Structure 1
């Protein structure tokens, strides 16, 4: 081998050594780089997992917080609802009863809602009792129910006005008060007034025709009894009884006491004849009863004496006592009529009259 070739070979080997060194460096560097990237990726993955875990924990935390807030709000609402319920239970219920005629409050019921609810039946019974007394009155107070005081013809032929029939509708008032248990308020008395069922322009004609009459006799009676008969007869004379009117003997005649001119006379009391003021007026009520019994009237109240009386047969009498037993009827004969009553010389006569036009329309009774 020539020296030149040997030199070339050495030069080549030297270069190849350099190349191998460089390649080794590059390879080692690449391996180191790959190792570094792998570690970096592992760290990044670990970091990403930790971040994901934190996000998950954050989400759970936020959900838990939201749940707690919702429960807090619900609890707050429950608390407020309980406060509202307690406030409702303790809410005062005031019910005012108003008289429409005077616009005055005549009664106020004060309740607590809880107590009212728990004792409703008891309070309803108390209200029913109160309404009954309010309508019908008591021994010391006058009720709202008022019997009709009928109109009457004066001696001059002019109408003397009485008073209408007034009824306090008890069931209606009760229903209104109970309905007010819910929120309280004002309840107006349901008062209904009924005027006499006739036309004023026909009053002057009501004495044209006698449609029924009856007579009893009191001759020989003591002066006191005679006077009482005359006074009570005058009281019912010229009274107008309209269609569907309710007539009350006691209300029309009034108190039969000394203050009103009535005198002492014998009267039936508890099966015995005793002396009392006003004795004799039952003959007037009896004579009226036997006259109206000939018409188609409806009896509201009718009582017989506890003893036999001499002026009428048994069972045909009508005893009365102011503040007690009364003789009452409703005119269901279909037309208005006029009561004409006279008591003179021992003869007591009651006539029922009406106009010629009405005489053919009036309904007769069975008597």
Structure 2
């Protein structure tokens, strides 16, 4: 019978089965020859009528050489990076990816096609890509008001990603050659703000600042304020960029170092990691307000909070990830944010450094409207407090609508008058009454 040449891989051994031409006796044609010879009463030999069928795959020599080259030695994938070691695609891994297919040609011939399983190869390259990937890190600076110079406090770092499609193409191209080193195509991502950019950022003077007081806060709330404020120290906002408080704040949890303190939740307060973060967002809002920067997103608290008054209506709450505070650096200069938390004085400060553009800011208000008096005190039993103990946990505030106007002037002329509206619900005194028997 006819038999195609075959090529198989057993482990790392290449096995070849040679081709065989098929032969078949044409019985009818041979019988006719016999009849003719008998009829002619002539002797001699009668040759068998045999039809030959050539194999579709006569030999696999080229494919064999290709397979032996591919699995003959490991393939090194070199990232050419000081902090990354090369990856090695060893012979067994290449053999596991190897695919030998029969491909029919237009003329009817069949040839063997040798290559790598693209699904397996891509999965391997994508795993390498995950190990290579690194987000760029912007530099953070400290501004010296005396010398007007910037000193990096967090050094910038280039980001990088692997071009997966190109890496797959290169491996496919080189695995069948004697060149056993593939230079991985890594794309470098420059940080938006690098150390060497410092002299060219336009950061040369204080343009606005704001300070709020948290004096009298619990120790946990004070430490939360200090931690949250530190997340923004040295941050540089490029021209045109929208600053997101939540983006730079990061995760707010016990694992991130935050302690439990009171936050507003619905129509009450409750203890949760991160209480006090809104003190920081409110301070950032006020610095942006006085700098004349466009406020992209700002939400007042549901209820008035004593820490942020006076003035009323000048707060900004956040609750990641849904409730954020955002403003835009609409100047042609970079903006540096510095923060300072004075634990002894109980204050947190945001300072914005850039280049003054000649604009100034004034405030009109606050204008209080639609005042809703708070209700009577609420007394709640608390089995954790000794019987007879009464402890106040909430302090009453009237509800109201509050309007503040920001007037922005450029070189002394009014160019914008903006309205900031806040609606606060009334807030009752709440007392816990102990019921625990001694």
When normalised by structure 2's length, the TM-score is 0.44
Say which of 153, 161, 168 aligns to 2:160. Answer: 168
Provide the residue aligned with 1:194 in structure 2.
191
Whether the 8 Å CA contact 1:98–1:186 is kept in 2: the answer is yes
Provide the residue aligned with 2:354 in structure 1.
354
- Determine helix, strand or coil for the equivalent of 2:332: coil
**What displacement does 1:159 show?**
0.8
**What displacement does 1:290 show?**
6.3
The CA distance in 1 between the partners of 2:251 and 2:193, in whole Å, is 23
Provide the residue aligned with 2:85 in structure 1.
104
Whether the 8 Å CA contact 1:266–1:274 is kept in 2: the answer is yes
1:128-207 mapped onto 2 (5 Å cutoff):
128=126, 131=129, 133-134=130-131, 144-153=134-143, 159-170=151-162, 173-180=163-170, 181-184=172-175, 185-194=182-191, 196=193, 199-201=197-199, 206-207=204-205
Query: CA, structure 1 residues 320+97, in 2 after alignment: closer, same or farther (shift >3 Å)?
Result: farther
1:1-367 mapped onto 2 (5 Å cutoff):
79=59, 82-89=60-67, 91-92=70-71, 94=75, 96-102=77-83, 104-106=85-87, 108=89, 110-111=93-94, 112-114=97-99, 117=115, 119-125=117-123, 127-128=125-126, 131=129, 133-134=130-131, 144-153=134-143, 159-170=151-162, 173-180=163-170, 181-184=172-175, 185-194=182-191, 196=193, 199-201=197-199, 206-210=204-208, 218=214, 220-233=216-229, 236-237=232-233, 239-243=235-239, 263-267=259-263, 275=271, 278-288=274-284, 291-292=287-288, 295=293, 310=305, 316-320=316-320, 333-342=331-340, 348-356=348-356
Whether the 8 Å CA contact 1:267–1:273 is kept in 2: the answer is yes
- Determine helix, strand or coil for the equivalent of 2:189: strand
Whether the 8 Å CA contact 2:220–2:259 is kept in 1: the answer is yes
**What displacement does 1:226 show?**
2.3
**What displacement does 1:176 show?**
2.2
Name the structure with the higher helix share. 1
When normalised by structure 1's length, the TM-score is 0.51
Residues 311-359 of structure 1 deviation map (CA, whole Å, 9 limit, x = unaligned): 59799533359xx999898867431122244556565453433224697
Query: CA, structure 1 residues 314+151, in 2 after alignment: closer, same or farther (shift >3 Å)?
Result: closer
- Determine helix, strand or coil for the equivalent of 2:318: coil
Query: CA, structure 1 residues 347+161, in 2 after alignment: closer, same or farther (shift >3 Å)?
Result: closer
The CA distance in 2 between the partners of 1:285 and 1:274, in whole Å, is 19
The CA distance in 1 between the partners of 2:355 and 2:201, in whole Å, is 9
Bigger RCO of structures 1 and 2 (CA < 8 A, at least 6 apart):
1
**What displacement does 1:152 show?**
2.3
**What displacement does 1:113 show?**
4.2
Query: CA, structure 1 residues 332+320, in 2 after alignment: closer, same or farther (shift >3 Å)?
Result: same
Provide the residue aligned with 1:45 in structure 2.
none
Q: Note the residue ranges of structure 2 that are not aligned, 5 or more in a row.
A: 1-54, 101-113, 176-181, 360-409, 411-415, 421-438
**Max radius of gyration: which structure?**
1
Query: CA, structure 1 residues 233+273, in 2 after alignment: closer, same or farther (shift >3 Å)?
Result: same
Provide the residue aligned with 1:63 in structure 2.
none
